Amino acid sequence: VTFDPSVISYEDLLDWFWRLHDPTTLNRQGADVGTQYRSVIFFHSPEQERIARASRDTLAQRGHYPDPIVTEIQAASKLVVGPDYHQDYYRANRSQGYCQMVIAPKLRKLGLQD
């Protein structure tokens, strides 16, 4: 995924981020467990860090979640690109069980094309 601020603002990107996953589970998303599934926001500038922290703090203050938000906020470092078969996984594998059971319901919930 490449972030392009001419397509979506950083604030809107964070809004989607919070809506698409559970930020209260440490090193876990659904049935997937491990540090690779931790909730984390990477920033590239002090302004992005400020916006990310404010976004997290606002969400926490609203009391939307019964458990504390555990999302980390870290400076971006070198990105290691995953193998090709991980890229655009849903688009290439819509009929796979994981896509049908996990991704498709999230897209429907958000009113996005499935």
Instruction: Give the CATH H-level superfamily of domain 1-79.
Output: Peptide methionine sulphoxide reductase MsrA (3.30.1060.10)
Euclidean distance between CA atoms 90 and 103, whole angstroms = 8
Question: What is the structure's pLDDT at 78?
Answer: 86
pLDDT band at 114 (very low <50, low <70, confident <90, very high): low
Burial class (CB in 10 A: 0-12, 13-18, 19+), 99: middle
Q: Mind listing the pLDDT tens digit for each residue in 26-80?
A: 988 777 788 888 999 999 999 999 999 999 999 999 988 899 999 999 999 988 8
pTM value is 0.80
Burial class (CB in 10 A: 0-12, 13-18, 19+), 39: buried
Question: What is the structure's pLDDT at 47?
Answer: 98
Where exactly are the structural domains of the chain?
Answer: 1-79, 81-114
